[in-house]
Amino acid sequence: MLVGLNHKSAPVAVRERLAFGSDQVPEHLRRLIVAGGSSEAAILSTCNRTEVYVACENEAQGTDAVVDFLCAFAGEARDTVSPYLYKYTGFDAAQHLARVAAGLDSMLIGEAQILGQVRTALQLAQGAGTAGPHLTRLFEAALRAGKRARAETAIGEGAASVSHAAVKLAYRIAPSVAEKEILLIGAGKVAELVARHLSRKGHARVRVANRTQARARQLAEAYGWSTLSLDELPSALRAADIVISSTGAPEPVIDARMVRPVLERRQRRPLYFIDLAVPRDVDPAVQQLDGAVVYNIDDLYAVVDTTVSQRREQVNQAEAIVEDEVRAFWTWYGQRAVAPVIARMRQRAEVIREQELDKALRRLDHLSEADKERIRALSAAIVNKLLHEPTIRIKEQARSPEGHRFVAAAAQLFGVEHELKRPANVQFG
Catalytic site positions: 47
Question: Of 166, 250, 162, nearest to 203 (Cα)?
Answer: 166
Distance separating alpha carbons of residues 252 and 245, to the nearest angstrom: 10
What is the arrangement of strands in the sheet containing 292-295, beginning at the earlier edge strand? 226-228, 206-209, 182-185, 242-245, 271-275, 292-295
User: Using N-to-C axis directions, what is the helix angle for 25-35 and 59-74, rounded to 10°?
Assistant: 140
E strand or H helix at 385: helix 369-398
Residue 77: how many CB atoms within 10 A of its CB? 9
- Cα dist from 20 to 45, 160, 342, whole Å: 6, 24, 41
Provide DSSP, 66-78: HHHHHHHHHT--H
User: Using N-to-C axis directions, what is the helix angle for 90-101 and 133-152, rounded to 10°?
Assistant: 40
